[in-house]
Structure 1
Amino acid sequence: MEQVNARVEAMRRDPGEGKRTLSGITSWNGGAHSTTIVRNFAVPADEPGAIGGTNRGPSPMELVLTALSACITISIAYSAAEEEVEVHSIEIDVEGDLDLRGLFEVADVRAGFEEVRVTVRIEADAPWEKIRELVDRGYRRSPVVDSLEGKVPVRVCLAKEDAGAA
């Protein structure tokens, strides 16, 4: 937490210290399989065989659920550390309902999740109400929660050099 606290203090002095642009590069590997390079990590994505994939990685929507539960976990841990609450374990079950007819344009339904459910199990040296407060705070401050619940503009641009021969 020393590094986190130092970063928080730097952001208090200079709001620009909190601004970041995160990025990755995704390459198609054929079929439904792709690999995204983020920092020094290769993250595979694929679909299950039942919908045309080769099952060489989690589906993109499973990665969304992974990002959501990981971010809430981190936010709860940060909140607990700030409150000096000793946490022994955090485990999150996450599931989302998806109607694949939207992806395949079979019906006029959303392509994204209809609902996502998160169940948090936490063991900590604190009364139930304090644990509940930490979980609520972790949820509220999660950037992934904010991105999923808010309307984040997504701009798609086609690079001319990648558009193929004219």
Structure 2
Amino acid sequence: MGIHHFKAIDITGKERELSEFKDKVILIVNTASKCGFTPQYAGLQELYKKYEGKLEVLAFPCNQFGKQEPGESNEIAEFCDLKFNVSFPIFDKIDVNGENTHPLYDYLKKERPGLLGSQNIKWNFTKFLIDKNGEPVKRYAPQVKPNELEKDIEELL
């Protein structure tokens, strides 16, 4: 099935089909601006630049963990640009758990459950690595830093 048939609204309000990222390795991350892991934005940007054209980083802001992403779309975009000079795609705020979970995250959690088979996302900056065919390959805990993913990314390139 893969992620390529999903759609999501980007931070500017435009609907985007994830099929536009076909033939690239993708890192999907639920993000927040006021989290202890927020500095990982810098590492995500470094990965995006290092593997430019081969790796896509897709950020999905989420306010479900400690209300650490309270801002509106324009505030989130401004924060990411000014603080971390983010140039990878940022999407509109979504839910990653509960009855309003975005369909993409329903799929990712089923395909790559967490520790002990848990499907719930435990915190901000949980990461999913997707291969060029759109298939989820690996799930990483929030404390795993972006630069620790390089070996796995390179294996998929």
TM bucket, shorter chain: under 0.3
Richer in helix (by share): 1
Answer 1 or 2: higher relative contact order, Cα 8 Å, separation at least 6.
2
Richer in strand (by share): 1
TM-score computed with the length of structure 1 as normaliser:
0.21
